[in-house]
Amino acid sequence: MPTSTAADIAVRVRTLATLLLRQQQRLAVAESCTGGLIAAALTAMPGSSVWFERGWVTYSNAAKSEELDVDPALIAAQGAVSEAVAEAMASGARRQAQADYALSVTGIAGPDGGTLEKPVGTVCFGWSSPVGTITETQHFSGDRQSIREQSVLHALNGLTHLLIDMPPQGQPLL
């Protein structure tokens, strides 16, 4: 990873660790196009076992269905790279891990696989919390590695905002 991106990711992981520890909550991740980079970034921090529950790399459609209970009909109708599938992945990861929060990433990192409707760089995200799941689609540019790194940082940033904006009931906003 380029130094600035790696440094940004490390800072974001430290922030997430602080928030999760403060709230005594645990996280799970479900990754497709990032291929485990998010879990690797999270577990690079010593002590992450206190707040990181587990992660899945569900690269194939079958893995998404078998491991995270994503309905194959949903994948067929919406495509693996869709907010609907990102939502199902995040919700499935949170449920399967019995975690407080989960995030998911599914996208097209390239250099092949893009279409006019979903070009290379299209990445869908899901963030699941005790109150529901939110999704978002981003369009990144660059080569495969750059798209994957941007996806990692965006996923972590989204979770950070979720943790700050939606603390557990009875706790004040940070």
What does the alpha-carbon distance between residue 65 and residue 99 come to, in Å, rounded to a whole number?
A: 19
Residues 53, 66 contacting (CB under 8 angstroms)? no
Q: Which amino acid is at 158?
A: G
Task: Map tokens 């999704």 to a residue.
Answer: 135
Greatest C-alpha distance within the chain: 48
Determine the pLDDT at residue 173.
38
pLDDT on residue 5: 86
For residue 45, the SS3 value is coil
Q: What's the pLDDT score for residue 168?
A: 53
Q: Tens of pLDDT along 49-103?
A: 999 999 999 999 999 999 999 999 999 999 999 999 999 999 999 999 999 999 9
Cross-strand partners of 29: 55, 103
Please state which of the ranges 3-7, 65-69, 84-88, 122-126 shows the lowest mean pLDDT. 3-7
pLDDT band (50, 70, 90) for residue 172: very low
**pTM of this prediction?**
0.93
